[in-house]
């Protein structure tokens, strides 16, 4: 019988030409108490190459976090990944992998950093022992060796007096320091992929910048790929090489970061970019996208963005657009790509 360990190693034997992570037709639904089906993620496909930083952007309720949780099968019931979805990591099918093998991948080869470190850290264990525990779970290191590695890792993520801090509890540390501990836990096994879900949202602006800089440094040093979930286009501009824009459970645009910022093709992306305050540009008021993301129990027919779109025309109400090629590695889900002459904003939709 094949052992769990032999199913997992060596991960680096996987085909070098294939992406590190490949998500194909991922759909996740939740059955609500009233019996309705919420299709939170609906046919999402994307890839992440080794060493690449890909940002997933969109407003709350667009399916970004559910997508991230699905990658490690962390969607809690009543959430369910639909048959036909496929997630491959380094040549392995994560959706059919036995639980024990998947546990070995989590933390060792794919790590997650969450938005709120205070809820992700165990309040009754010292931070050093929480980092050391990751080492103990995935290696044969002794308690002492694991502790040494934990302290080393706390040093690498910029925690001053790491030997002292390691013996402290999460509540004794500032929010920024707790997030550094989370990053130490995520990186201590040198994973190939780190998934970070809004890792700086709960932090002050100056600490945010430090944490992003730390992630960038650690990515460059360890060569890991980073899948960064964020609603903040400033973070995207700083970090991403490629961007995936999600709206109403769908990918609506995918592009290299420079193409997205210079020539966004989807009106939703255009709206997100217009809503970013710009330094040195006089703005009498901030532009906003009118309305809100529709509920996932009731996605509109046709284009899901049509009720908020300044360019919506009759075809948008009856036919859902598919992802169409806009340029090199740039795709968008909008009828305007086939009918560019329709890109004339409706006066009643301008904000």
**Residues near ligand SF4, by CB under 6 A:** 266-267, 303, 305-306, 309, 311-312, 316, 321, 334-336
Closest CA to 149 of 129, 167, 176: 129
Please say which residue, 126 or 287, places its beta carbon nearer to ligand SF4: 287
Please say which residue, 64 or 335, places its beta carbon nearer to ligand SF4: 335
Scanning the chain, the segments in alpha helix (DSSP H) are 4-8, 64-71, 99-108, 117-120, 127-138, 143-156, 162-165, 175-187, 205-222, 233-239, 257-262, 267-274, 314-318
Helix or strand (DSSP H, E) at 37? strand 37-48
Q: How far is the CB of 296 from ligand SF4 (least distance, A)?
A: 18
Please say which residue, 226 or 312, places its beta carbon nearer to ligand SF4: 312
Please say which residue, 121 or 264, places its beta carbon nearer to ligand SF4: 264
Please say which residue, 36 or 318, places its beta carbon nearer to ligand SF4: 318
Separation between Cα atoms, residue 114 and residue 131, nearest integer Å: 15
Tokens of 159: 């925690």
Q: How far is the CB of 305 from ligand SF4 (least distance, A)?
A: 5
Q: Are 227 and 194 in contact (CB under 8 A)?
A: yes
Q: How far is the CB of 306 from ligand SF4 (least distance, A)?
A: 4
Coil/strand/helix, residue 24: strand
Q: How far is the CB of 42 from ligand SF4 (least distance, A)?
A: 15
Q: How far is the CB of 310 from ligand SF4 (least distance, A)?
A: 8
């Amino acid at each position: 019988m094949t052992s769990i360990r032999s199913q997992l190693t060596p991960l680096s034997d996987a085909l070098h030409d294939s992406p590190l992570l490949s998500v194909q037709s991922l759909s996740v639904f939740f059955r609500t108490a009233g019996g309705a089906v919420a299709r939170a993620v609906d046919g999402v496909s994307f890839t992440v190459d080794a060493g690449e930083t890909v940002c997933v952007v969109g407003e709350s309720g667009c399916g970004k976090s559910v997508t991230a949780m699905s990658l490690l099968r962390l969607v809690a019931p009543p959430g369910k990944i639909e048959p036909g979805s496929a997630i491959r990591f380094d040549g392995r099918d994560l959706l059919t992998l036995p639980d024990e093998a998947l546990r070995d991948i989590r933390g060792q080869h794919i790590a997650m950093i969450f938005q709120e470190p205070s809820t992700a850290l165990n309040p009754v264990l010292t931070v050093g022992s929480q980092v050391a525990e990751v080492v103990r779970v995935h290696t044969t290191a002794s308690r002492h060796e694991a502790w040494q590695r934990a302290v080393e890792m706390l040093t690498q993520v910029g925690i001053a007096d790491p030997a002292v801090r390691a013996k402290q509890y999460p509540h004794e540390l500032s929010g920024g320091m707790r997030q550094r501990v989370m990053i130490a836990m995520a990186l201590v096994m040198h994973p190939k992929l780190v998934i970070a879900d809004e890792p700086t949202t709960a932090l002050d602006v100056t600490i945010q910048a430090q944490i992003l800089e730390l992630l960038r440094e650690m990515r460059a040093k360890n060569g890991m790929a980073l899948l960064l979930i964020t609603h903040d286009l400033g973070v995207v501009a700083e970090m991403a090489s490629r961007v995936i824009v999600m709206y109403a459970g769908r990918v609506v645009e995918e592009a290299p970061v420079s193409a997205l910022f210079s020539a966004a093709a989807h009106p939703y992306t255009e709206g997100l970019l217009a809503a970013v305050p710009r330094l040195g540009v006089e703005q009498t008021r901030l532009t906003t996208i009118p309305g809100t993301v529709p509920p996932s129990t009731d996605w509109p027919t046709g284009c899901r963005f049509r009720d908020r779109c300044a360019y919506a025309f009759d075809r948008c109400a009856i036919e859902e657009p598919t992802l169409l090629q806009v340029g090199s590695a740039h795709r968008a889900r909008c009828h305007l790509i086939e009918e560019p002459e329709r890109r004339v904003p409706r006066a009643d939709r301008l904000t």
